[in-house]
Structure 1
Amino acid sequence: MTKMTKMTNQVRPQQPTERATGRLSRTRILALVRKELNDFRRNRLIATTMAVMPLLFMIEPVITVFKLPANAPASRLDALVGVATLELMLIPALVPAVVASYAVVGEREQGTLEPVLTTPIRPSEFLLGKALAVFLPALGVAYTMYGVFLAAVGLFAHANVAHDIFEVPRIVAQLLFTPLLALWSIWAAIAVSTRAGDVRVAQQLSSLASLPPLAVTALVGFDVVKPTTTVAVVIGAALLLVDTVAWRLVSAFFHSERLVTGAKPA
């Protein structure tokens, strides 16, 4: 029986591993996310960026809305409300860009990149872990700031101003565009971070790269395109397509061997 058991074990086909089948490992991705979140808590620059920058971007829209008089003309009201919503969009656009720009170049400067890349983690898992670690807190901060803004408007702004801001298409657009802008910023920043040689340069270039999609969302904010739920969904679908293409491009051009050894893989 012992010999038969051994022979059976020898001929039994081995279960394909996640690496062999091409499937992503949730365990490795979540482990990297936890590592990144712990690093964020220890990094004062990132913690300050996450805490202070959103507050700065929220204070100006609140002041703008509170200064609007009750009898403000419709054109002026729409223009200032557009400015306020656009400034709130800077939170998901710039905050993830600044944080994600640290993803690769920051670890390379600290000497912690090589140990991570030489583990069994795949490049796609590495990128997804890095992106999720930035995306989740950035999305939470952006939605929290928008909720505080709506609460302040509902409690203290004039009725006609609050009515304009609480229009359903505006709220749908804000809720829909926020994660999509954050995703674009993250992929652009990671792409910059893999090529940059300095954290400050990566942050500056990533901030610039995060701004182009804001031009599309500004069309809705300033009523250049009439803000309707359908328009918001269509623009959101276009941004989702752009985010997907960005993710594919970053994955295709990410070479862990080049980052570790400095040489491009054959």
Structure 2
Amino acid sequence: MKLLRYGQPGSEKPGLVDDRGTVRDLSGAISDLDGSALSDKAIERLRQIDPATLPAVTPDRVGPCVGRVGKFICVGLNYIDHARETGKEPPAEPILFMKATSAIVGPNDDIEIPRSSNKADWEVELGVVIGKRAKYVETSDALSHVAGYCVVNDVSERAFQSERGGQWTKGKSHDTFGPLGPWLVTRDEVTNPQALELWLDVDGVRQQTGATSNMIFDVAFLVSYISQFMTLEPGDVIATGTPPGVGMGIKPAPVFLKPGQTIALGISGLGCQKSRTVEARN
């Protein structure tokens, strides 16, 4: 299933996309698409509903595909070519950092360029949405704890990230730096999360092209690994790293975002995002 949330910020309703691409209202079945609705049993109940019996809607806005995210966990340098374009060696173990949940916005919402920013950058990533509590899980069982997958743009401010005390979270957490969606695609529709194509354009120019098959650490390993350090709860989101082609890696000189640009990105089977960059609001 393709599940989503639609409506104005703070008032989103749950929905699904039927086989014809029509959005159907799920608010009569669940209150929101959050951790409480992401267990295997809960998703199976939704699957038993005939979409034709649900009201068809025309959303004025698509919101982030997961509500009330508890943890937004990111994996750094998880593609060899991306690690090398940043001047770093591929890591021996996953690099983990947190992105503030206040950064989460819808897939087509504006992306703010922060005040004093001069190195805002883009990163298309596969998002993994947890559906079942995971603590000390084995790699062989890790994917059973996944509810589904989504597109993530791990927007970054490189100067804040690397030149302001070495705290990656500083450069990753500005408001609007975490577009999620458009859909949460349930696990059964993604038979192999390591066989997905990723892409990202800035102002119509292709900047990133990649494949999840090139991850250094695959999804199952990441879920298991992270669960050794913290308990993953339903509704938590893991951004699994970006392929090469980010602005900081462009030669001979890096290229960064400025207000008034368009960023489009997508992952095969998971949908596309399209955002405009704007000056930061108060």
With normalisation by structure 2, the TM-score equals 0.28
Higher helix share: 1
Higher strand share: 2
* Structure showing greater Rg: 1
With normalisation by structure 1, the TM-score equals 0.29
